[in-house]
Structure 1
Amino acid sequence: MLGVKEIMELIPHRYPFLLVDKIETLEPGVRAVGYKNVTMNEYFFQGHFPGEPVMPGVLIIEALAQLGAASMLSLEEHKGKIGYFTGIDKAKFRKKVFPGDTLKLEVEIIKRRGPIGIGKAIAYVDGQKAAEAELSFFIS
């Protein structure tokens, strides 16, 4: 189990943009399972949306990307580097995410060639899919 301190040793993200609170499973370069506890104190709820706070889908995708980056950047050859988005494909948003929800994040690296790869990413709330996408990246 990795907490925020260990996650920040792997990826460069910091408050208020670090969107992974803990990592339960980490297989370097293969897969990762982590969590984001969504609270009413999140900065984005100030404007999205007043009266009905909903986590922006793009930030759910970002949380998944950060988890995938943690998996890739835990490989010895990528330590100290940064993972950059190069594409988002097949993104679907299936369930609204509200304050009080816990996002279970899962990323499996399905294709990798050197510093370039693709991850299959799924976010769940209470066992139901909230979002899914294929995320492509470049490590530099």
Structure 2
Amino acid sequence: MLNIKEIQEIIPHRYPFLLVDKIEELTPGEKAVGIKQVTFNEYFFAGHFPQEPVMPGVLIIEALAQVGAVALLSLDELKGKIAYFGGIQKAKFRDKVVPGDTLRLETIISKRKGPVGSGTAIAYVNDKIVTEAELTFFVK
């Protein structure tokens, strides 16, 4: 398991854009599973939406990408680099994420060639899929 400080040693994201609280499972270059505790204090709930706070889907995708970046950048040969989005395919938002939810973020890297990798990303709340997508990364 990686705590927040250990995550920050791997990826460059910082508050308010670091969207992963801990990594529960890690196989470098292949898979990572992270957790995001969604609280009412998140900055985006002030405007999305004040009458019914909902976590923006693009931020759930970003959280999944950060988990994928941890998986990729944990490889010795990629340490100290940055993983950028190369693409988002087949994104589906199946349910809303609200304050009090615990997001389980799972990203599996299925292909990797040189600096480019791609994989499947799925976000769960209470074992129910809320978001899924195919993500492509490139590392520089």
Structure 1 residue 130: Cα displacement: 0.5
**SS at 1:137's partner residue?**
strand
Tell me which residue corresponds to 2:32. Answer: 32
Q: Distance in 1 between matches of 2:135 and 2:52?
A: 28
Q: How does 1:1-140 map to 2 (within 5 A)?
A: 1-140=1-140
Q: Which amino acid aligns with 1:78?
A: L
Instruction: Provide the identity percentage.
Output: 71
Equivalent pairs, count: 140
RMSD: 0.4
Structure 1 residue 19: Cα displacement: 0.2
**SS at 1:66's partner residue?**
helix
| Runs of 4+ displaced beyond 2 Å | none
Instruction: Name the TM-score, length of structure 1 as normaliser.
Output: 0.99
Q: Distance in 1 between matches of 2:81 and 2:111?
A: 19
Q: Distance in 2 between matches of 1:133 and 1:78?
A: 24
1:22-46 CA distances to partner (integer Å, 9 max, x unpaired)?
A: 0000100000111000000000001
* Uncovered stretches (5+) of structure 2, i.e. residues with no partner: none
Instruction: Name the TM-score, length of structure 2 as normaliser.
Output: 0.99
Q: Which amino acid aligns with 1:125?
A: V
Structure 1 residue 53: Cα displacement: 0.1
Q: Which amino acid aligns with 1:81?
A: K
1:83-107 CA distances to partner (integer Å, 9 max, x unpaired)?
A: 0001000000001000000000001
